[in-house]
Homo-oligomer: A and B are copies of this chain.
Amino acid sequence: MFVSFWPKILLLACGMLVATTVQAEIPKETRDALKLDRSATPRQLYDALVKRYKDPAQGAGRGSHAKYWEPIPFSKYLDPESFYKPPSTVKEVASREQCVKCHADESPVWVNAWKKSAHANLDRIRRLTPNDATFYKKTKLEEVESNLRSLGKLGASEQLKEVGCIDCHVDVNAKKRADHRTDLRMPTADVCATCHLQEFAERESERDTLTWPKDQWPKGRPSHALDYQANVETTTWAGMQQREIAEGCTMCHQNQTKCDGCHTRHEFSVVEARKPQACAMCHSGIDHNNWENYQLSKHGTNVATRGDSWNWNVPLAEAFSKGGQTAPTCQTCHMEYQGRYSHNMVRKVRWANYPRNAGIAENIKSEWSGKRLEAWVKTCTNCHSETLSRSYLELMDKGTFQALALYQEANKVVQKLYDEKLLPGQITNRPAPPPPDVEGLGQFYSFFLAKGNNPALVEFVELNMGENQLPKTHVALAHVNPGNWSYSDGYEQLNFMYTQIMDEDVKIREMVALKERVARLETTKRTSLLDTDSSTTLASLGGLGGAMLAAGGVAVVGWRRRDKATR
């Protein structure tokens, strides 16, 4: 709760002073993890970050399921460190100028886009004056040059002239000609970090600031910093033979390896990166429809209707005050923490999108989550009163719990069917999934590796409910899209899926009961009439009728025994 009048003002003023002086700092958690103090040089910071970044034991590369899958040709663009090889067929050895000249014909939009970029116009940045809304870029350029000097890439009195093809794709500030066949590289995040060390450090700090109290998720996840690791460690992804389908996952799970997921090459426009659509390709869809919910929320429609009158060139910290923004973007909420903006987007994570995951709901009222809730309150009070903010965040949490409860009720029904081996085809035609996945109810593989009767329909519905529809309900609550948590999507759809499950449950059990009655009749018939075709009947029971046998947990052997007893 807010304290009295003037002290609060003073507090805020102090906060702003502090914010300015530590602007270029990285979280203490990361300094501790890297064993660096505040006096570390750029080189020391860079070396420590990159060592960890490239360490397979800490999330780099193909991961623990590497033996199950092979890269496809396109993979080299998604994990260049693991798979990129320069093209053997392009024989040109080119200077800085020749790169540009030739590619103006070979791939003209690369060059056009670059010519519009800050990279190609460093002099324009040097000429900025403090009155300019983008004056901060001049400071940024000086910081970049300072980094390069610390790394020995720029002379003490040398100015960076430009950032051209050769700087990113061969070596920063390269003076020599480069051979396509041996020198070319696809820039990984550490290459960008040569200049943009602060941003890289911020992104990498996601590994350190998201530590779950009961290991609900692995350390530092979910995050951009380890999203490629999350991908390759997914058993279903690794086990899929359909590598081109699977590469669809990787195309979003690639922020760990590169920076151009948000900063589209080769203009690298900050305006683009600050607009909400920058996040839309990946943060949309069936299980995390953040974009869809945001876009049609009042937040999103205000941006859609008024955004063309705002100045998107100002830094995020000035978006509201100087840019004229009157509504939040993805960036102004998720890159903010305690009033500062950085490339660490996970410091306020609480539900992590998946309310059904073990330990997540239980954790919401913990101190860990409470501190993060307070950080959200601070974010919301940019535009709302504290009372409104708290009451809305409470609505969000409670609504999520209500949706979770419905899911859990449905989950139990399907679990019981599975335990009793009553799912259609469960006994007769449920092939094991390809390794490293293992058989189980409602596993993630059900979405991608359906085979025979694995999964059953009701099981798919349950998984869809928990893995997709429940997250979507929460995401709608989190992004203030009321129709999508109550009616158009969210709770109504959860009710639909619940209905499917309850309906199926009663039908499956009715069928089992009827089969039992028929079996009982058949037994009697055989007993009384010395029926000659009992072997046929038993064969058919072993086939399609088999599921019935397991209904009461009675195996075929047991059933025969009872059969005999009746006789």
Contacts and interface: CB of A to CB of B under 8 A. Distances in A.
A499 B456 contact: yes
B503 A456 contact: yes
A424 B487 contact: no
B320 A298 contact: no
A267 B306 contact: yes
A397 B457 CA distance: 29
B509 A533 contact: no
Contacts of A429: 502, 506
B483 A284 contact: yes
A528 B516 CA distance: 20
Interface string A462-480: 0010000000000011001
Contacts of A559: none
Interface stretch (A44-52, A211-219, A270-278, A355-363): A270-278
A89 B247 contact: no
Contacts of A108: 320-321, 382
B399 A248 contact: yes
Nearest to A382: B109
Interface in A85-113: 87, 89-92, 102, 105-110, 112-113
Interface string A425-466: 100110000000000000000111110110111101000100
A484 interface: yes
Interface centre among A297, A448, A489, A531, by most chain B C-beta atoms within 10 angstroms, is A448
Contact of A399 (B245, B267, B453, B486): B245
Interface stretch (A34-42, A55-63, A490-498): A490-498
A520 interface: yes
A447 B495 contact: yes
Interface centre among A298, A387, A490, A518, by most chain B C-beta atoms within 10 angstroms, is A298
A284 B296 contact: yes
A62 to B, nearest CB: 18
Interface string A498-517: 11101110110111011111
Interface in A365-385: 381-385
A516 B540 contact: yes
A246 interface: yes
A495 to B, nearest CB: 4
Contacts of A482: 247-252, 281
B284 A499 contact: no
Interface stretch (A4-12, A18-26, A122-130, A140-148): A4-12
Given A244-B395, A275-B305, A503-B424, A518 B516 contact: no
A557 interface: no
B513 A74 contact: no
A285 interface: yes
B247 A282 contact: no
B277 A489 contact: no
B487 A285 contact: yes
A280 interface: yes
Given A102-B9, A285-B484, A296-B291, A399 B503 contact: no
B399 A502 contact: no
Nearest to A326: B113
A556 B32 CA distance: 75
Q: How many monomers of this chain does the complex have?
A: 3
A105 to B, nearest CB: 5
B105 A12 contact: yes
A415 interface: no
B272 A394 contact: no
Nearest to A285: B488
B513 A517 contact: no
B77 A391 contact: yes
A5 B446 CA distance: 51
Interface centre among A105, A275, A278, A486, by most chain B C-beta atoms within 10 angstroms, is A486
A418 interface: no
Contacts of A267: 306, 326
A529 B523 CA distance: 12
A5 B302 contact: no
A452 B505 CA distance: 10
A121 interface: no
B395 A116 contact: no
A382 B107 contact: yes
A72 interface: yes
A284 B484 CA distance: 10
A310 to B, nearest CB: 10
B246 A486 contact: yes
B488 A284 contact: yes
Nearest to A249: B486
A565 interface: no
A248 B474 CA distance: 12
7 contacts: A87-B387, A244-B477, A267-B326, A272-B301, A272-B305, A514-B514, A524-B525
Given A109-B325, A510-B544, 17 more contacts: A1-B89, A4-B92, A248-B491, A251-B480, A271-B309, A277-B304, A277-B305, A285-B487, A291-B296, A447-B487, A447-B492, A448-B495, A510-B545, A513-B544, A514-B518, A517-B540, A520-B537
Closest 8 CB pairs of A and B: A285-B488, A248-B486, A244-B399, A251-B482, A457-B503, A73-B391, A248-B482, A286-B488
